[in-house]
Amino acid sequence: MGKFVTASSSASDFLPVLLMMVALLASSVESQLVANFYESSCPNAEAIITSAVNSAFNARPAAAPGVLRIHFHDCFVRGCDASVLIDSPSEKDAAANANSLQGFEVIDAAKTAIEKQCPGIVSCADISAMASQLSVKRLSGGRLTWRVPLGRRDGVVSSAAEVTGKIPAPTDTVATIKSTFAAVGLSTDEMVTLAGGHSVGVAGCGTIQNRLTDATLASTFDANFAAALKRQCPTGSTSKVNLDVTTPNRLDEVYYRNLQARKGLLQSDQALQIDPETQPIVARNTNPAVFNSKFVAAMIKMGNIGVLTGSQGQIRLNCRKFNA
Ligand code: HEM
Q: pLDDT tens across 150-178, in order?
A: 999 999 999 999 999 999 999 999 999 99
* Catalytic entry in 71, 73, 78, 211: 73
Q: Which atom of ligand 1 is nearest to the CA of 103?
A: 41
CB-based contact 221:211 (threshold 8 Å) = yes
CB-based contact 129:110 (threshold 8 Å) = no
**Looking at residues 73-92, what average pLDDT do you find?**
98
* Cβ-based burial of 100 (10 A; exposed 0-12, middle 13-18, buried ≥19): middle
First to last CA, the chain: 57
Assess whether the C-beta atom of 72 lies below 6 angstroms from ligand 1.
yes
H-helix or E-strand containing 215? helix 215-218
Contacts of 89 (CB under 8 A, 6+ apart): 160
* Cβ-based burial of 119 (10 A; exposed 0-12, middle 13-18, buried ≥19): exposed
Q: For the chain, list the domains and their CATH numbers.
A: 45-163 (1.10.520.10), 186-302 (1.10.420.10)
Cα–Cα distance, 226 to 222 (Å, whole number): 6
- DSSP SS3 for 265: coil
Please give the annotated binding residues for substrate, written as ranges. 168
Q: Any catalytic annotation for residue 73?
A: yes
**Looking at residues 56-72, what average pLDDT do you find?**
98
* Cβ-based burial of 63 (10 A; exposed 0-12, middle 13-18, buried ≥19): buried
Assess whether the C-beta atom of 207 lies below 6 angstroms from ligand 1.
yes
Ligand 1: which residue has its CA nearest to atom 29? 197
**Beta pairing, strands 240-242 & 202-204:** antiparallel
Residues in the chain: 324
Q: Which pLDDT tens digit goes with each residue over 106-147? A: 999 999 999 999 999 999 999 999 999 999 999 999 999 999
Q: Which pLDDT tens digit goes with each residue over 287-323? A: 999 999 999 999 999 999 999 999 999 999 999 999 9
What's residue 31's pLDDT?
52
**204: β partners:** 240
In this prediction, residue 26 has a pLDDT band, given cuts at 50, 70 and 90, of very low
Q: Which pLDDT tens digit goes with each residue over 2-22? A: 333 333 344 444 444 444 444
Ligand 1: which residue has its CA nearest to atom 14? 203
Cα–Cα distance, 56 to 248 (Å, whole number): 20
Rg (Cα) of the chain, in Å, rounded?
Answer: 21
Q: Which atom of ligand 1 is nearest to the CA of 298?
A: 30
Ligand 1: which residue has its CA nearest to atom 8? 170
CA distances from 317 to 26, 73, 124, 312 (A): 31, 21, 8, 16
Ligand 1: which residue has its CA nearest to atom 3? 168
Assess whether the C-beta atom of 264 lies below 6 angstroms from ligand 1.
no
**Looking at residues 51-69, what average pLDDT do you find?**
98
Assess whether the C-beta atom of 52 lies below 6 angstroms from ligand 1.
no
**34: β partners:** 150
In this prediction, residue 197 has a pLDDT band, given cuts at 50, 70 and 90, of very high
CA distances from 192 to 222, 284, 294 (A): 21, 10, 10
Q: Residue 146 carries which side chain, given as an amino acid letter?
A: W
* Cβ-based burial of 48 (10 A; exposed 0-12, middle 13-18, buried ≥19): buried
Q: Is the pLDDT of residue 68 over 50?
A: yes
Assess whether the C-beta atom of 197 lies below 6 angstroms from ligand 1.
yes
CA angle 145, 56, 133 (to 5 degrees): 20
Crossing angle of helices 267-274 and 174-182, rounded to 10°: 100
Q: How far is the CA of 198 from the centre of ligand 1 (A)?
A: 6
What's residue 29's pLDDT?
47
Cα–Cα distance, 16 to 222 (Å, whole number): 54
Cα–Cα distance, 208 to 215 (Å, whole number): 13
Q: Provide the 8-state DSSP code for 87.
A: P
Q: Is the pLDDT of residue 25 over 70?
A: no
CB-based contact 121:48 (threshold 8 Å) = no
